[in-house]
A and B are shown apart, each in its own frame.
Chain A
Amino acid sequence: MCLAIPARIVEKLDGDAARVDLGGVRKEISLALVDGAEVGDYVIVHVGYALSKLDPEEAAKTLALFEESGLDLQAIAAGSA
């Protein structure tokens, strides 16, 4: 199963592209599959695409869970998007 780290949109780029912060790792992704995502929103990302939006409270809980787990968040982020 693929782990989903909530990613925060930090910049909208040309077309449907955006830059996100994914556990401290900056990635360029596509927003083609979600409607109305704006800078500051959290999205779930898989292999370069935002799959869905996530409300900030849910995103915070999920990020806290990953941090408590001891899993290498940056390695997961680097390899999952």
Chain B
Amino acid sequence: MNAPLHLAATLSDGHVTGVHAENSRPLAAQLLVGKTVDEAARLAPVVFSLCGVAQGVAVKAAADVAGGGSFVMTADIERALSLEAIKLHLWRLMLDWPVLFGRQPERTRFAFVLKRLDQATDARSAYEAGGAVLDLVARELLAGFINSLREPRNLTEFADTCRRSGSIGDALARLIEAGASDPLEDPVPLLAPLPASVFAEALPGGWPDAAYCRAPHLSGDVYETGPLARHVNNPLVARLVVQRHRIAARLFARVVEMSDCASRLRHPLPDDMPALVDVAPLAGGGALARIETARGVLLHALRLDGDTVADYAIVAPTEWNFRPGGVFEQEGAGWAATDVAYAEWRLRALALALDPCVLYDVAVTEGAVADA
């Protein structure tokens, strides 16, 4: 086993059971302990590769409040965070989802789009990049919906409408045609954007210790974080959820979120969207920064000794969704599968929809068959 996130299950009597997410990646926030605030803010984006902008902002925001000051969100920060989120969403949509359906990753196209986005270096160019992203969303997913005068009457029409768009729409159509994906009568609740103070007040012992960082919860309850949790009120996303197509709903929510991010690029700090970042003081000293990232809520807890980081903890979105008893383990189990290959495919689709930020592998083993 090489991947830091190992996803395993058993196929018994035609049903997937025993779904287990084994997360062995190191809790590396300690790398920042002993550094000055400036060093930590410089290191975080380099050390934590994927959402480096968010990690760097979180360090700075938590340090500002822990040091007795306040954190001031700016249009520049909002644009940088939105741009990073768009890139991460596009990574999944262009490189990873096509592979799930046996197609080649769209590397050349993704590289072209990345270069276009990297030109967004000021307010004006960010405005233009946001427009390009909105055009992409319209072409890739929403063209069929825009061109129709009425909403699809049923899921067959929904899938057909998706397919009339680009490759992302095609992936969504295929997911819908693969059948309902949610076996749970009582789904794992969705973690709507909440202020940092709510997390700070609910932290056991007032600090996210190693056990909490591995298996976060809110007042003892397990939640799903990510685009679905943020966009479940979108009518088309909600429709897929009601029809128990939660994997497809997550993919759709990701595209909806891209358009939100594009809007923030064009008009940062809007009054009608939740704040991307906020910070709350911790009862025992220090501060907790909350950032909504592409994968879900990211929490950074920090205590200072003068200008030096005395203690640090990071709670990443992957730990909410892939924790023991979390949404992957719950939603991954209990559904019917004809064979191991199909079971693995469905679990890969679920994992991709929940979007872990580390390499993962999926292994399904054949279990005992009950006597007839």
Residues of A at the B interface (CB closer than 8 Å) are 1-4, 16, 30, 32-33, 35, 44-47, 49, 51, 54, 58, 62, 65-66, 69, 71-72, 76, 78-81
B335 within 8 A of A: no
Q: Is the CB of A2 within 8 A of B49?
A: yes
B358 within 8 A of A: yes
Q: Is the CB of A80 within 8 A of B50?
A: no
Q: Is the CB of B26 within 8 A of A80?
A: no
Q: Is the CB of B47 within 8 A of A51?
A: no
B210 within 8 A of A: no
Q: Is the CB of A46 within 8 A of B49?
A: yes
Q: Is the CB of B43 within 8 A of A62?
A: yes
Question: Once bound together, how far apart are the Cα atoms of A46 and B25, in whole Å?
Answer: 14
Residues of B at the A interface (CB closer than 8 Å) are 2-4, 24-26, 28, 30-31, 43, 46-52, 55, 95, 107-108, 110-111, 114-115, 298, 314, 316, 357-359
Q: Which residue of B28, B108, B115 contacts A1 across the interface (Cβ within 8 Å)?
A: B28
Q: Is the CB of A65 within 8 A of B50?
A: no
Q: Knowing A3-B28, A44-B49 touch, does A32 contact B111 (C-beta < 8 A)? A: yes
Give chain A's interface secondary structure class: mixed
Q: For A33, what are the chain B residues with a Cβ–Cβ distance below 8 Å?
A: 107, 110-111, 114
A-B contact sample (15 more), CB < 8 A, given A33-B114, A44-B49: A1-B50, A1-B314, A2-B358, A3-B47, A3-B48, A4-B47, A4-B49, A32-B110, A35-B115, A46-B50, A69-B30, A78-B2, A79-B2, A79-B25, A79-B359
Question: Once bound together, how far apart are the Cα atoms of A45 and B46, in whole Å?
Answer: 11
| Closest B residue, CB atoms, query A70 | B30
Question: Once bound together, how far apart are the Cα atoms of A54 and B359, in whole Å?
Answer: 22
Q: Is the CB of A16 within 8 A of B107?
A: yes
Q: For A79, what are the chain B residues with a Cβ–Cβ distance below 8 Å?
A: 2-4, 24-25, 358-359
- A–B complex contacts, Cβ < 8 Å, 21 sampled: A1-B55, A3-B47, A3-B48, A3-B49, A4-B47, A4-B50, A16-B107, A30-B107, A32-B111, A33-B114, A44-B49, A46-B50, A51-B50, A62-B47, A65-B31, A65-B43, A66-B31, A69-B28, A76-B4, A76-B25, A79-B4
Question: Once bound together, how far apart are the Cα atoms of A3 and B31, in whole Å?
Answer: 11
Question: Once bound together, how far apart are the Cα atoms of A51 and B103, in whole Å?
Answer: 22
Q: Knowing A1-B316, A79-B2, A80-B4 touch, does A47 contact B359 (C-beta < 8 A)? A: yes
Q: Is the CB of A2 within 8 A of B357?
A: yes
Question: Once bound together, how far apart are the Cα atoms of A19 and B114, in whole Å?
Answer: 23
| Closest A residue, CB atoms, query B6 | A79
Q: For A49, what are the chain B residues with a Cβ–Cβ distance below 8 Å?
A: 95
Q: Is the CB of B357 within 8 A of A54?
A: no
Q: For A32, what are the chain B residues with a Cβ–Cβ distance below 8 Å?
A: 107-108, 110-111
Q: Is the CB of B50 within 8 A of A2?
A: yes
Q: Knowing A79-B3, A79-B358 touch, does A54 contact B314 (C-beta < 8 A)? A: no
Q: Is the CB of A80 within 8 A of B359?
A: yes
Q: For B55, what are the chain A residues with a Cβ–Cβ distance below 8 Å?
A: 1
Of all A-B residue pairs in the complex, the 7 with the closest CB atoms, nearest first, are A4-B49, A1-B48, A79-B4, A32-B107, A2-B357, A2-B50, A1-B316
Question: Once bound together, how far apart are the Cα atoms of A65 and B358, in whole Å?
Answer: 20
Question: Once bound together, how far apart are the Cα atoms of A76 and B359, in whole Å?
Answer: 10
Question: Once bound together, how far apart are the Cα atoms of A9 and B3, in whole Å?
Answer: 22
| Closest B residue, CB atoms, query A54 | B46
Q: For A51, what are the chain B residues with a Cβ–Cβ distance below 8 Å?
A: 49-50
Q: For B357, what are the chain A residues with a Cβ–Cβ distance below 8 Å?
A: 1-2
Question: Once bound together, how far apart are the Cα atoms of A16 and B107, in whole Å?
Answer: 10
Q: Is the CB of A4 within 8 A of B359?
A: no
| Closest B residue, CB atoms, query A15 | B107
Q: Is the CB of B114 within 8 A of A65?
A: no
Question: Once bound together, how far apart are the Cα atoms of A45 and B49, in whole Å?
Answer: 8
Q: For A81, what are the chain B residues with a Cβ–Cβ distance below 8 Å?
A: 359
Question: Once bound together, how far apart are the Cα atoms of A51 and B45, in whole Å?
Answer: 12
Q: Which residue of B28, B49, B50, B298 contacts A71 across the interface (Cβ within 8 Å)?
A: B28
Q: Which residue of B26, B108, B115 contacts A76 across the interface (Cβ within 8 Å)?
A: B26
CB distance from B142 to the nearest CB of A (A): 26
| Closest A residue, CB atoms, query B95 | A49
Q: For A66, what are the chain B residues with a Cβ–Cβ distance below 8 Å?
A: 31, 47
